Structure 1
């Protein structure tokens, strides 16, 4: 522009005036660009400051990926994400020669749960059979059990993976009078937790002695040995069993904190759901006080649980919006915040919180709250039924402040950030967001 002005035959005073205007416009444009970039940098800096320098990555389950299930590994700033374990990837042969190379199969539901402890990643595969379906005579065998469930273990780099408990392996219980056995549709390893040098495992499809699908918690040593049925199911703890009923799915979710155990029971009371709080030894257990929530059938309160310093957060993946008779409001999903004592619960994200559901543009069968994780000042929320812009149910992960505000569609789904569904090659039915676990550098120490 400035060069073209100099070539025109115009008076010198007018030329200088136009030249000054051109320079002013150029400076304003530069300042605008600088301000925009500065604001973007400031916003990113706020996020990074809240996450802290020790933030490392988030593991995200996609239990429908490639028909088998997978785990993705993503940075917490939302810039990088890739298929880490399972799905379309083959497992590397383990360096430990006593381990067999892991193979997963269609229907294994690998990535149904994720936990990290003592520099190891533990992944639940709730659809795993007790024998390989392609083995000659397996399905016709009297000992064949489908969907018993299994727990896999890998190191933090995704190497040295092995089938750790359940599935194709028998339990090592040389000191137990009655050996632990899994049965069809137990869905072993739907959840896991660690406490007092014990591994706790949720088995929501477990039958009781005379009640179907009551659900159970198993307890094992950290090396996977000497497992026993701890709570629910066929355990000897009659006090807990007396509070459970057919199809409760006790153990769907599980977390420990401050010598307490919180257990999701999402099918309690015709599927309205609940959470049970127990002392760590299981000697005293009580349900949360949910009278003020007006839960309805199939809300599935207790699908997922996570905890901060001051609150318990509970997912209710089947929660509908309002009016509940509108098919467009079915199964939006919701997240509730409760006190650590199980009282004072409130609906903070999605569901019947009209403002939140509208801001997030939730749709039917999104199933928000199927998984939840807390890190620093943020809630990460799995939304495995979320559609992308092509109306494919790829799944997504949302991120919100701990009070339920400032939510964004973080990864997958309809995210407009760096990691949308297309850039991750997510496909219809992947169920990205089935499970979540945030790993900080402290886990690697």
Structure 2
């Protein structure tokens, strides 16, 4: 690697200059956090307007703590942004690829075309030794293919090496997960690549590091998401059974959580998962298993997906039953648009999916969310929207809590009861205290509970 003048943060020297290719959720977070660790960082995106916003310290996403980090490191001069691949190649010693791998339209498989586009745009400018690091979630086998393409297209040839370093960020906790990760996975093919990445992450302190090959590094992220999705769908399958048997899934979950072999994390029954990761990742995982001739190994994930989708349908059915069997003209308040709290991400949002299905069946739906309202309005302008929970609930015949924002969890049932047409609430996240709401005269309903 070039012998740049080293800057020092704490006890650790940071001898490399880093670039981050793609400045979406993952890329913007990684760029700001690496600058916070003391590195000089150059972020790239092909979207000129996004780059201009980032350069002004404006985030295209909502992520707690990230905007402060972005602005602090822009002001320090350690972080800046560009649209030039040539500038990136001249500047960087380590290039992190952080572009998305969405689900292909009309298919289950992942679309890795953005990764190929980055490699094809960057490689012709790589005329010296450097390391390219993939962080995107990809089908197993992608890294090996891209490594060959890099060598083939780069003037520096074999001096350009690829590594795979999957991300494990949770939306709403991305800064914390980057600066205080629970593990780091390095898929490498040489000691040199391992040393460079160990140097890059040294400022984080003592973090467990797993050094492995490309296929294993690729599989770690998809396996982790598949396990989390399975755990969530398992407790929601138990909710289905509780509804049939008259049990209480929240008490069942509590009892299971005390078993150290099981644990209570991600064992929260409710409306299920959504967002830009879990749904598309488990589908891409099964599609890749099919391609590899191992379809039976992941056949269970198809049922995991179906259980998750059934929770949305069940919420719609429960609400319709409450209203006497039809939505026509009935006023429904939906609290939540983001797929989870502390995020403005509405991709595959269970809350919006339920809202849309009720509206399609004739319900007069009014949605409120603390931060995702503008995204929801842009994507679904035909829905009704409000600027507060109280406004959304005005004259509503049923209130649905579908994203467990703290603002909703702490709502005063008496205050909300004063504006609704009927004190009926469906707690799609099992986030409220049922006794408190019932004592206030509410007909409280929740998935998997009597």
**Into which bin does the TM-score normalised by the smaller protein fall?**
under 0.3
More helix by share: 2
Q: What's the TM-score, normalizing by structure 2?
A: 0.26
Bigger Rg, which one: 1
Q: What's the TM-score, normalizing by structure 1?
A: 0.26
More strand by share: 1
